[in-house]
């Protein structure tokens, strides 16, 4: 994705400078020496910001209906001042609807997608307790038949978004 960002930024800068140069030639004038690099720089910066800020929207549009985006995580960085105005979504978590499987009356197993802008993505199978706010990583979903021991469970806030969505989806089957 970084190569796409770099190539798109360079092409937009060169293309915009070319359009400005062409317009000046069509009108029989000569462009000031400072204008082409200035236009190219402004367009390249604008293109970079647009591609960075639209990462999540572009990726979300490619997801199928079976994937539910549960949480997004925004980040503002001082060296990218535009993120101080509009923080950038740099990662998100999602649940695959088809992976949601009720284990018993209160437990549900679901595949969680953890997607990060810079680090790539990871899939984790987790077991959620819909009655008590807790979860556990389901290490080997193919072989495991017994429930994990009590000390393996991790407490989560009662309003945990991932647990809430997984428990809601267990009835959708």
pLDDT in tens, 70-109: 999 999 999 989 889 999 999 999 999 988 988 888 889 9
| Residue 58 lies inside a defined structural domain of this protein | no
Percent of the residues in the chain that have a pLDDT greater than 70, as a whole number:
94
Cβ atoms of 123 and 113 closer than 8 Å: yes
- Domain presence at residue 124: yes
- Provide the domain limits for residue 17: 2-53
83 lies in the same domain as 130 = yes
**Total domains in the fold of the chain:** 2
Q: What is the pLDDT of residues 19-44, one digit of tens each?
A: 999 999 999 999 899 999 999 999 99
pLDDT, greater one: 138 or 12: 12
Residues 118, 140: one domain? yes
Q: Can you give the pLDDT at residue 173?
A: 43
Q: Is residue 156 part of a domain?
A: yes
Q: Are residues 163 and 111 in the same domain?
A: yes
| Judgement on whether residues 95 and 17 belong to the same structural domain of the protein | no
The percentage of the chain sitting over the pLDDT mark of 90, rounded to a whole number, equals 56
Other C-beta atoms lying within 10 Å of the C-beta of residue 13: 22
Span 48-76, mean pLDDT? 92
From the list 122, 128, 137, 139, the residue with the least C-alpha distance to 165 is 128
pLDDT at 148: 78
> Which are the contacts of 22, defined by CB distance < 8 A and separation ≥ 6?
none
| 70 in any annotated domain | yes
Has residue 69 got a pLDDT over 90? yes
95 and 136 both lie in a single domain:
yes
What are the structure tokens assigned to 157, written together? 């806030």
Q: Which residue has the higher pLDDT, 171 or 86?
A: 86
CA atoms within 13 A on the CB side of 158: 1
Q: Kindly give the residue spans of alpha helices, DSSP state H, lying in the chain.
A: 2-26, 35-53, 55-62, 82-85, 161-169
pLDDT at 142: 44
pLDDT-derived band at 171, boundaries 50, 70, 90: low
């Amino acid at each position: 994705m970084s190569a796409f960002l770099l190539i798109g930024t360079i092409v937009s800068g060169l293309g915009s400078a070319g359009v400005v140069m062409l317009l000046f030639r069509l009108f029989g004038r000569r462009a000031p020496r400072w204008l082409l690099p200035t236009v190219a720089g402004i367009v390249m910066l604008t293109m970079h910001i647009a591609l960075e800020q639209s990462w999540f929207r572009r990726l979300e549009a490619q997801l199928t209906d079976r994937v539910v985006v549960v949480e997004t995580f925004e980040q503002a960085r001082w060296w990218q001042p535009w993120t101080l105005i509009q923080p950038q979504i740099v990662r998100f978590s999602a649940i695959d609807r088809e992976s949601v499987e009720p284990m018993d009356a209160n437990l549900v197993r679901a595949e969680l997608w953890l997607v990060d802008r810079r680090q790539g993505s990871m899939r984790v199978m987790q077991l959620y307790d819909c009655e008590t706010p807790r979860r556990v990583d389901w290490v080997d979903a193919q072989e495991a038949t017994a429930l994990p021991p009590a000390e393996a469970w991790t407490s989560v806030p009662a309003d945990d978004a991932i647990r809430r969505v997984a428990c809601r989806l267990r009835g959708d089957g």
